[in-house]
Amino acid sequence: VQDCETLWINMAQNGDDDAFGKLVEAYQTPVYNLCYRMLGNPFEAEDAAQESFFRAYKSLSGYDKKRPFSTWLLSISAHYCIDQIRRRKMKSVPLDSVSYLKLHNPNLNPELCAELNEDQQLIRSLLGTLSPIDRAVVVLFYWYDFSYDETAICLHLTVSAVKSRLHRARRELAKKLINQASRKVLAESYASCVDQAK
């Protein structure tokens, strides 16, 4: 696979668009997933993934072959998403107002599907509370198994900055989860009170 990738990169650098198409095919899911986790919206994620590949296509001549292609590509994608989130904040579009990716898998039973969708929505709302760079750090660390060093290279940060951002993000996520859980418990106890009153 690595040899194929190197071959496609070389061919793409020599102007072969079909070879770049192969790279797009190979990396569509990682790039799309990163964009989706960052932006929380399937339509914006599609657009961001396409734009990331276009940016990679344009700057392919400057790609350093010593670096892994995936790190380089995901770095482009992460920076594009960070910019998009900052622009979105200027436009003040709340994350809760946008649609999210629903899982429709006929092979899974509906209950499991609903549970997975609930998890997806929970993750989306939790990640939405983090700052763009913290969100990128969390996504790269958990979904792509990037080490501190790789995450630092990918996001142009120092290793200590990655560690401190990850630490802060974990704390924020945990507090948000506790907050949500206590709200849910309150809502459930209120509902049971109403039932008893009836």
Distance CA(9)–CA(149), nearest Å, equals 24
Binding mask 30-69 for other proteins (x = CB under 8 A): x-xx--xx----x--xx--xx--xx--x------------
Report in angstroms how near the CB of residue 94 gets to other proteins at its nearest: 21
Report in angstroms how near the CB of residue 160 gets to other proteins at its nearest: 12
Query: Based on CB atoms, which residue is closest to other proteins, 29 or 189?
Result: 29
Report in angstroms how near the CB of residue 148 gets to other proteins at its nearest: 9
Distance CA(166)–CA(184), nearest Å, equals 27
- Contacts of residue 131, defined as CB under 8 A and 6 or more positions apart, other chains included, come to none
Residue 41 in tokens: 């919206």
Q: Are 82 and 136 in contact (CB under 8 A)?
A: yes
Report in angstroms how near the CB of residue 18 gets to other proteins at its nearest: 9
Alpha-carbon distances, residue 180 vs 81, 97, 122, 137 (angstroms): 26, 18, 9, 23
Query: Based on CB atoms, which residue is closest to other proteins, 103 or 193?
Result: 103
> 41 phi and psi, to 5 degrees?
-140, 125
- Choose which of 93, 114, 174, 186 interacts with other proteins (CB under 8 A): 174
Q: Is 17 in the site for other proteins (CB under 8 A)?
A: yes
- Choose which of 9, 12, 19, 24 interacts with other proteins (CB under 8 A): 24
**Other beta carbons less than 10 A from residue 84's beta carbon:** 19
Helix (H, G, I), strand (E, B) or coil at 40: coil
3-state DSSP helix/strand/coil % of the chain, to nearest 5: 80, 0, 20
Q: Is 125 in the site for other proteins (CB under 8 A)?
A: no
State the residues that interact with other proteins by CB under 8 A: 17, 21, 24-25, 28-30, 32-33, 36-37, 42, 45-46, 49-50, 53-54, 57, 101, 116, 119-120, 122-123, 126, 138, 142-143, 166-167, 170-171, 173-175, 177-178, 181
